[in-house]
């Protein structure tokens, strides 16, 4: 019936990682049958599900060229007019984390990482991996989002009463270069990393990204306008001072929404299961899980007539009753 390409010549593994969510958009008393499809590139595409046309517009914008010999990256990429990017899609030197953002130890480790690998290169959304010729100085690309997104397998959650669409995303950059492949390889070039594939450092038992927080977010989009209704950091970094812990954390799974206006999500690597207010994103309740919740929660009515919410915490099923 139709098709829509969310990325041209994908060099970054930024595919749509989850099925689209079906939504009905109401504008000026008219209902538009639509869908929202998330991508690991940090963008959400809201399309008319009968025609495939973008509801709020998509522009083909020029993006950086590839300098790999013989590689012709797409000159443009489809960028939604609305909503704005749900995750970080660019990086500048001023975005490097500082001691004021987190701790002196973290800031120092990140500065040392950047110096050790000879600096990082980012020219905005869809920056291709730079080419490093044999014997040349390091040419490390820092790509945002990284290989896991952006949004990942959690997909979207939609509330038909408020018309809000929710998406969880993370901001963990990826490091890499393109170099001549080793002898015997079937391809002339290969992607390499400068010893570390992600733009973060290990402090104690936790990986801390090297750009300023937030590092994970939950966004609510008003589907009537395409604008953010709210956007909050999702997850805490307990290793930081209490006043700096609200950083957001890497996520993979997504949220669900109940008819009473509660949002449940257990996606963050701080091993928390949270309930938030759908109208504001304010945290209403939180529980510590034995391990990370790597799946979307479900809700159901038990034999006792009570409502329950359940989530798989890696290898443990956790079930809670909603009073």
Which token pair is 162?
A: 């408020």
Give the separation between CA 217 and CA 209, rounded to whole angstroms.
Answer: 14
Q: What is the pTM of this model?
A: 0.95
Comparing CA positions, the residue from 314, 310, 317 lying closest to residue 258 is 310
Please tell me the predicted confidence (pLDDT) of residue 52. Answer: 97
Which token pair is 151?
A: 């949004």
Please tell me the predicted confidence (pLDDT) of residue 137. Answer: 86
156 has pLDDT over 90: yes
194 has pLDDT over 90: yes
pLDDT mean over 184-191: 92
User: How many alpha carbons lie under 13 Å from residue 40 in its C-beta half-sphere?
Assistant: 21
Split at pLDDT 50, 70, 90, the class of 34 is: very high
190 has pLDDT over 90: yes
Give the separation between CA 102 and CA 99, rounded to whole angstroms.
Answer: 5
Write the pLDDT tens digit of every residue in 50-90: 999 999 999 999 999 999 999 999 999 999 999 999 999 99
What letter does residue 149 receive in the DSSP assignment?
Answer: B
pLDDT mean over 266-286: 97
H or E element in which residue 121 lies: none
210 has pLDDT over 90: yes
Helix extents (H) in the chain: 104-116
Q: Taking a C-beta distance cutoff of 8 angstroms, is the pair 309, 322 a contact?
A: yes
Cα 276 to the chain's mean position, in Å?
A: 19
Give the separation between CA 161 and CA 279, rounded to whole angstroms.
Answer: 11
Q: Which residues contact 42 (CB under 8 A, 6 or more apart)?
A: 85, 86, 87, 88, 89, 125, 144, 145, 149, 150, 151, 169
Please tell me the predicted confidence (pLDDT) of residue 64. Answer: 97
Please tell me the predicted confidence (pLDDT) of residue 135. Answer: 87
Please tell me the predicted confidence (pLDDT) of residue 138. Answer: 86
Which token pair is 130?
A: 């730079």
Query: Mean of the per-residue pLDDT values for the chain?
Result: 96
Write the pLDDT tens digit of every residue in 227-269: 999 999 999 999 999 999 999 999 999 999 999 999 999 999 9
323 has pLDDT over 90: no
């Amino acid at each position: 019936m139709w098709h829509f390409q969310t990325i041209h010549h994908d060099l970054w593994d930024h595919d749509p990682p989850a099925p689209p969510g079906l939504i009905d958009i109401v504008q000026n008393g008219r209902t538009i049958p639509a869908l929202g499809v998330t991508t690991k590139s940090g963008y959400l595409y809201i399309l008319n599900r009968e025609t495939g046309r973008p509801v709020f517009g998509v522009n083909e914008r020029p993006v950086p060229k590839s300098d790999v010999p013989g590689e012709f990256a797409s000159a443009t990429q489809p960028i939604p007019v609305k909503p704005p990017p749900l995750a970080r899609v660019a990086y500048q030197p001023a975005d490097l984390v500082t001691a004021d953002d987190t701790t002196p130890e973290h800031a120092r480790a990140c500065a040392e990482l950047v110096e050790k690998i000879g600096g990082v290169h980012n020219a905005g959304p869809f920056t291709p991996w730079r080419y490093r010729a044999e014997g040349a100085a390091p040419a490390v690309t820092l790509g945002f989002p990284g290989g896991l997104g952006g949004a990942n397998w959690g997909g979207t959650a939609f509330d038909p009463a408020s018309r809000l669409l929710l998406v969880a995303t993370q901001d963990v950059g990826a490091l890499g270069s393109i170099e001549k492949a080793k002898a015997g390889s079937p391809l002339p070039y290969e992607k390499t990393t400068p010893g570390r594939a992600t733009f973060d450092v290990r402090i104690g038992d936790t990986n801390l990204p090297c750009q300023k927080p937030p590092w994970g977010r939950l966004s609510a989009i008003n589907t009537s306008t395409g604008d953010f209704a709210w956007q909050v950091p999702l997850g805490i970094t307990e290793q930081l001072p209490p006043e700096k812990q609200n950083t957001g954390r890497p996520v993979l799974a997504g949220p669900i929404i109940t008819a009473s206006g509660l949002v449940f999500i257990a996606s963050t690597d701080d091993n928390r299961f949270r309930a938030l207010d759908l109208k504001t994103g304010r945290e209403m309740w939180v529980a510590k899980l034995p391990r990370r919740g790597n799946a979307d929660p479900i809700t159901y009515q038990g034999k006792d007539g009570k409502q329950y919410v359940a989530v798989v915490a890696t290898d443990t099923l956790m079930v809670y009753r909603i009073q």
